[in-house]
């Protein structure tokens, strides 16, 4: 009978139950456990397996470049960041409110580490998300113009409850890229959360995008539902931090 049950679990692809069924049946035989409890434990194992598998799938497809977490962020070495504020954001209520987060600071101050940490927290808690380097995102938007798939790409990006756009700085931009980016941000406004890291304060965005009217509209929407965090602190890449638990030297 065990062989038949095991084969059925294989056929039904119930891998979570399959890994523990022998253990649970043996324990039930020894202790005289009620069949309801055995079934409940097996179903719990299957649910846990599927949740774990789903979490790994979300993390893999988010394309996070580094294994940073909020637990490993060196808050003690960065006085420009309030740990209490970041841990409050880690409660993820900002996603439910479709609020944006913008980290502004000099290179090396930990902007990317914090953004990735929040994204990873969201993924672990069941949200779908995606990480993009800003230039890569703008290049992908531009490439989509060639086969007229921009609308499809923007729709896909808007389906992510959380999107991280990293290193929005002095980039090489074409007019078509700027228009597509503004379209994406406009579509996500009020519907999903976007985290942006940048070394440019808001007034400098005009020089980056060279389109005052569009930048006015972008900032009006972005800042309306936004938490802006200015990191006025030292670089975590400084020699004094070599022995500290800090993000990779590539961290922004």
Q: What is the pLDDT of residue 31?
A: 86
Q: In the chain, which residue ranges form alpha helices assigned H by DSSP?
A: 2-11, 15-31, 35-61, 83-89, 93-96, 111-124, 134-144, 150-158, 175-188, 205-209, 212-224
Q: Are 102 and 229 in contact (CB under 8 A)?
A: yes
Phi, psi of 191 (to 5 degrees): -120, -30
Residue 156: both structure tokens together = 């896909």
**Using CB atoms within 10 A of its CB, is residue 180 exposed (0-12), middle (13-18) or buried (19+)?**
buried
**pLDDT score, position 51:** 78
- Report d(CA 162, CA 195) in Å as an integer: 7
Q: What pLDDT sits at residue 247?
A: 52
In this predicted structure, what is the pLDDT of residue 135? 94
User: Residue 13: what pLDDT?
Assistant: 85
User: Which pair of structure tokens corresponds to residue 230?
Assistant: 């200015």
Provide the pLDDT for residue 250: 46
Cβ-based burial of 217 (10 A; exposed 0-12, middle 13-18, buried ≥19): middle
Q: Which of 99, 138, 107 is nearest to 200 (CA)?
A: 107
Q: Which residues of the chain, if any, have pLDDT below 50?
A: 241-246, 248-252
Beta carbons of 170 and 206 less than 8 angstroms apart: no
pLDDT for residue 195: 97
47 vs 7, 44, 229, CA distance in Å?
19, 5, 38
Q: How far does Cα 33 stand from its chain's mean position?
A: 43
C-alpha to C-alpha distance for 232 and 128, rounded to whole angstroms: 31
């Amino acid at each position: 009978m065990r062989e038949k049950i095991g084969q059925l679990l294989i056929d039904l692809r119930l891998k979570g139950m399959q890994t523990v069924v022998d253990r649970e049946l043996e324990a039930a035989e020894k202790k005289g456990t009620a069949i309801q409890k055995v079934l409940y434990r097996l179903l719990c194992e299957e649910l846990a397996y599927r949740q774990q598998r789903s979490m790994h799938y979300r993390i893999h497809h988010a394309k996070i470049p580094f294994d940073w977490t909020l637990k490993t962020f060196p808050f003690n070495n960065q006085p420009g960041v309030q740990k209490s504020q970041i841990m409050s954001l880690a409660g993820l209520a900002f996603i439910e409110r479709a609020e944006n987060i913008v980290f502004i600071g000099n290179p090396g101050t930990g902007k990317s580490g914090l953004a990735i940490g929040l994204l990873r927290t969201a993924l672990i808690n069941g949200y779908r998300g995606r990480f993009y380097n800003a230039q890569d995102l703008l290049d992908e938007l531009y490439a989509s113009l060639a086969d007229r798939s921009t609308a499809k790409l923007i729709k896909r990006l808007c389906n992510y409850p959380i999107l991280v756009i990293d290193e929005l700085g002095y980039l090489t931009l074409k007019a078509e890229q700027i228009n597509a980016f503004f379209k994406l941000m406009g579509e996500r406004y009020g519907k999903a959360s976007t985290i942006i890291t940048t070394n440019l304060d808001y007034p400098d965005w005009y020089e980056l995008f060279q389109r005052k009217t569009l930048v006015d509209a972008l900032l009006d929407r972005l800042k309306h539902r936004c938490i802006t965090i200015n990191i006025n602190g030292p670089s975590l890449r400084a020699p004094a931090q070599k022995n500290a638990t800090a993000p990779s030297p590539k961290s922004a």
